């Protein structure tokens, strides 16, 4: 096991007293952004956001029921956070067994995109609100990690070996969530295994060179099943796509048409 250092996420449950919480939230209710309040107070955005729904400290020992392994299995409470996290998990995540029935979810996030690391930690925290979220620094990336007995319930795609070496199919309840929140799912997949790049060229217009830019989105994943989940969801929201072979392997999905890139810009945007 790697050395695990707790991050600001511990503050969600324990570090701050009620007075500090109320003062910080007061700044947010005055219309300040979570970013600016976070900068001023040193309190993480994840903590501020969680206090907006629950200001009292969580008792870490309190069992939060699992929506899947109870008498009547249902869906996670916050389906938008789940749809986004499902995209991240299918892109760059894994669920591994630790011991005594406990698993850990690990999502690998590049250091280049600190905003995405925060979003990932927030989504995990919302899906399992009573479990601590850890960030483990590695070379060039952070692993955002959380322990729970219920990750296999929430991500039944969990299994041995690499995802592209086994079949990946959504369960009906997961597909319903993706159908209800397609953009969150697409955003999660792009944030893990995708990117937005800008190609450009110059053309002479009236004797003057003019620069033209061609933004496009790429999604790259070795799993045929995961690429199909991505493109099926693109179809549902009306985004045109093509498959680009790298060598002989059709691992890349490209979105290049102007209207489709505009849709992606509205709902996904560049990484940050």
Nearest-approach distance from CB 72 to Zn ion, in angstroms: 13
The secondary structure of the chain in percent helix, strand, coil, rounded to multiples of 5, reads 40, 25, 35
Nearest-approach distance from CB 63 to Zn ion, in angstroms: 11
Nearer to Zn ion, 57 or 159 (CB): 159
Laid out side by side, the sheet with 208-220 consists of 194-205, 208-220, 249-255, 242-246
With binding defined as CB under 5 A, does residue 150 bind Zn ion? yes
Nearest-approach distance from CB 62 to Zn ion, in angstroms: 16
Nearer to Zn ion, 96 or 242 (CB): 96
Q: Which of 180, 176, 68, 78 is nearest to 125 (CA)?
A: 78
Q: How far apart (Å, rounded) are the C-alpha atoms in residues 199 and 106?
A: 33
Q: Which of 161, 181, 165 is nearest to 173 (CA)?
A: 181
Q: How far apart (Å, rounded) are the C-alpha atoms in residues 269 and 264?
A: 6
Nearest-approach distance from CB 150 to Zn ion, in angstroms: 4
With binding defined as CB under 5 A, does residue 15 bind Zn ion? no
With binding defined as CB under 5 A, does residue 4 bind Zn ion? no
Nearer to Zn ion, 150 or 216 (CB): 150
With binding defined as CB under 5 A, does residue 181 bind Zn ion? no
Residue 42, helix vs strand vs coil: coil
Task: Count other Cβ atoms within 10 Å, centred on residue 16.
Answer: 18
Count residues contacting Zn ion (CB under 5 A)?
5
Contact string 68-97 vs Zn ion (x = CB under 5 A): xx----------------------------
With binding defined as CB under 5 A, does residue 6 bind Zn ion? no
Binds Zn ion by CB under 5 A, chosen from 15, 58, 64, 66: 66
Residue 211, helix vs strand vs coil: strand
With binding defined as CB under 5 A, does residue 130 bind Zn ion? no
Contacts to Zn ion by CB under 5 A: 66, 68-69, 150, 153
């Amino acid at each position: 096991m790697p050395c695990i250092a707790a991050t600001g996420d511990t503050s969600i449950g324990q570090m701050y007293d009620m007075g500090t919480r109320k003062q910080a939230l007061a700044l947010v209710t005055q219309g300040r952004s979570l970013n600016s309040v976070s900068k001023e107070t040193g309190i993480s955005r994840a903590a501020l956001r969680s206090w907006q729904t629950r200001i009292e400290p969580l008792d870490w020992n309190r069992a939060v029921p699992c929506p899947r392994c109870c008498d009547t299995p249902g869906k996670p409470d916050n389906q938008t956070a789940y749809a986004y996290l499902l995209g991240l998990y299918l892109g760059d995540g894994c669920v591994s067994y630790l011991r005594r029935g406990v698993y850990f979810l690990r999502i690998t996030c590049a250091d280049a995109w600190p905003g995405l690391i925060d979003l990932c930690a927030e989504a995990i925290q919302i899906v399992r609100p009573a479990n601590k979220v850890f960030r483990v620094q590695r070379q060039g990336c952070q692993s955002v990690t959380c322990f729970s007995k219920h990750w296999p319930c929430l991500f039944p795609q969990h299994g041995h070996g690499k995802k592209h070496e086994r079949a990946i199919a959504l369960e009906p309840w997961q597909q319903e969530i993706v159908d209800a929140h397609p953009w969150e799912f697409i955003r999660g997949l792009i944030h893990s295994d995708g990117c937005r790049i800008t190609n450009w060229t110059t053309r002479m217009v009236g004797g003057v060179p003019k620069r033209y830019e061609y933004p496009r989105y790429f999604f790259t994943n070795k799993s045929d099943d995961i690429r199909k989940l991505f493109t099926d969801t693109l179809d549902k929201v009306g985004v045109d796509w093509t498959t680009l072979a790298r060598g002989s392997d059709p691992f890349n999905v490209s979105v290049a048409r102007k209207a489709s890139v505009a849709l992606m810009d509205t709902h996904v945007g560049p990484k940050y």
